[in-house]
Structure 1
Amino acid sequence: MSGKLKNKIAVVTGGSSGIGLATAKLFADEGAKVAITGRKLENLNSAVAEIGNGSIGVQGDVANLANLDQLYKTVETKLGKIDVLIVNAAIYALAPLADFSEEMFDQLSDINFKGTFFTVQKALPYLNDGASIVLTSSVVAEKGVPNHSVYAASKAAIRSLARSFSAELLDRKIRVNVLTPGPIDTPVFETVTSTKEEAEAVKAGMGAFTPAKRVGTPQEAAAANLYLASDDSSFMIGSEILLDGGIRSL
């Protein structure tokens, strides 16, 4: 590895699986000391063991502000001030407009939108000047897709937050950018289906829908996060990397 994050401290929310785990592993391989978050302790501990390299896990829910406070206090105590913040924790909930419940709306909004906002706000005292923040959006933020209304709106809000955060943090030279993936091969498909076979069918359907005729890999998303986290992207501010297999453009 090239050591692009040597001696850096990185925090990855939602780091126990999928894009978050692949990102945490790559960052550790590139020399960073990594802290990850997750809601399920068993998954968190397994991920920390997989990441290695002195990584730590802090259990918590990004929608719970007290959990965020504890996260950053723990990271400061065990690792130090933060150079890279990957705001990746989110949930994926689908339903037709007519059937979307208030409970579903609140849960999705609390984690995806509120959680993203306060993950950044609560981090501010713990970030080094010149830090890099990466928010995770989705290609559906700019498309009309059936059953995705609330999820898509939450991800569009995240794209907007990156612009506003960037403008406010210019004096600290903190860059805020966005990773906008299309369908990625993660356990998320299992959260919206009843069986593994159904999950594989949904994944295959989404792959067929992309011009690339496949879903992306967590490692491809992690590589994009590394670019945004490192000095390679030093001239990117309030911008995004679109990693969608051509869905938005073709």
Structure 2
Amino acid sequence: MSSPSTIRLDGKVALITGAGRGLGATLAKILSDRGAAVVINYASSAKPALATVAEIEKAGGRAVAIQANISKTPEITKLFEEAIKAFGKLDIVINNAGMEAFSKPEDVTEELYDQVFGLNTRAQFFVGQHALKYLSEGGRIIFMSSIAAGLGVPNHALYAGSKSAVEGFARSFAADGGPRRITANAIAPGGIKTDMFAQNAWHYSPGATKDTPLEVIEAGIAKLIPLGRCAVPDDIARVVIFLCHPDSEWVNGQIIRLTGGSAIA
């Protein structure tokens, strides 16, 4: 769990998609640490999702894990209905679920295209749609983009395109949520030290291959970042915490790039 902070979310209820592991699990723990009740959505990572719930409850927090494949709209509806049933309301929706894919444009199949856009783009739209319906007045929607949306990384057009669309969602949802004071923003992190980082970081490190040791790749990327290190999930979570707080109301329709000062990492 994170250390105490002056930013508190007591009485708030947050739903986080793709929170069974990685960044999503960290977000769930830190939001709970700051006083929010959390709904941990997972598609297939039941064991780690339930372990996160147990950890939160042991620390005195409130959490529930709800299985739903958010690439299917009926399951999104079920997720929101069960979340409301669990805690009576929703104040925060964090659109965290996603996948990364690398492929030469000529090798992208319709199946891969549909898979990547189905989770990274379509699912984020319909989760946002449900958020506008179910959120309390003054609620928060946070979309998950990526620094890749603004870069020209080889063999990354599919992923970059799927995240670029999400940035458009954030701006438009901000306008749509205005009458009920619901804000919408997107965060666009660089590499974060999660299991996804371990699998794919070599693509971003000049001269690296999939056989390059991870510590060598990490050191190379860290040299491109003014702060001299790669991001950890807590770095992203602290920004998300602020966006969830009432004090963030005037931050709306924004794409917040979280790179430690680097335009590459």
Fold match by TM threshold 0.5: yes
Q: Is the 8 A contact 2:38 2:62 kept in 1?
A: yes
Match of 1:234 among 249, 258, 262: 249
Q: Percent identity?
A: 33
Structure 1 moving runs of 4+ over 6 Å = none
Aligned to 2:48: 43
Match of 1:98 among 99, 106, 111: 106
TM-score by length of 2: 0.87
Q: Is the 8 A contact 2:29 2:52 kept in 1?
A: no
Change (3 A) 1:64 1:206: farther
Following the alignment from structure 2 to structure 1, what is the Cα–Cα distance between the partners of residues 180 and 151? Answer: 34
RMSD after superposition: 2.3
Aligned to 1:164: 172
- 240-249 or 126-135: which moved more? 240-249
Match of 2:22 among 3, 8, 18: 18
Aligned to 2:188: 180
What SS class does the counterpart of residue 163 from structure 1 fall into? helix
Following the alignment from structure 1 to structure 2, what is the Cα–Cα distance between the partners of residues 97 and 28? Answer: 41
Q: Is the 8 A contact 2:190 2:264 kept in 1?
A: no
Query: How far is the alpha carbon of 1:120 from its aligned partner?
Result: 1.1
Following the alignment from structure 1 to structure 2, what is the Cα–Cα distance between the partners of residues 183 and 80? Answer: 36
Aligned to 1:65: 73
Aligned to 1:5: 9
* Corresponding residue pairs, total: 250
Letter in 2 for 1:86: I
Following the alignment from structure 1 to structure 2, what is the Cα–Cα distance between the partners of residues 120 and 232? Answer: 21
Deviations, residues 129-152 of structure 1 (Å, cap 9, x unaligned): 110111111111111111211111
Question: Is 1:245 paired with 2:249?
Answer: no
Change (3 A) 1:205 1:110: farther
Change (3 A) 1:206 1:84: same
Mapping 1:127-138, distance limit 5 Å: 127-138=135-146
Letter in 1 for 2:19: G
Following the alignment from structure 1 to structure 2, what is the Cα–Cα distance between the partners of residues 204 and 14? Answer: 28
Q: Is the 8 A contact 1:175 1:237 kept in 2?
A: yes
What SS class does the counterpart of residue 138 from structure 2 fall into? strand
Q: Is the 8 A contact 1:3 1:29 kept in 2?
A: no
Query: How far is the alpha carbon of 1:211 from its aligned partner?
Result: 4.2
Following the alignment from structure 2 to structure 1, what is the Cα–Cα distance between the partners of residues 158 and 55? Answer: 33
Deviations, residues 5-63 of structure 1 (Å, cap 9, x unaligned): 00001111111222211111111011100001111212221222233312001111211
Aligned to 1:223: 238
Query: How far is the alpha carbon of 1:161 from its aligned partner?
Result: 0.5
Following the alignment from structure 1 to structure 2, what is the Cα–Cα distance between the partners of residues 248 and 197? Answer: 23
Q: Is the 8 A contact 1:112 1:155 kept in 2?
A: yes
Letter in 1 for 2:258: L
Ranges in structure 2 where 5+ consecutive residues have no aligned partner:
203-209
Following the alignment from structure 1 to structure 2, what is the Cα–Cα distance between the partners of residues 71 and 9? Answer: 14
Deviations, residues 111-160 of structure 1 (Å, cap 9, x unaligned): 00001000111233321011011111111111111121111111111111
Mapping 1:75-154, distance limit 5 Å: 75-154=83-162
Name which structure has the greater RCO, CA cutoff 8 Å, separation 6+: 1
- 195-204 or 45-54: which moved more? 195-204
Change (3 A) 1:202 1:112: farther
Deviations, residues 84-130 of structure 1 (Å, cap 9, x unaligned): 11111100111122222222111100000001000111233321011
Aligned to 2:205: none
Query: How far is the alpha carbon of 1:75 from its aligned partner?
Result: 0.8
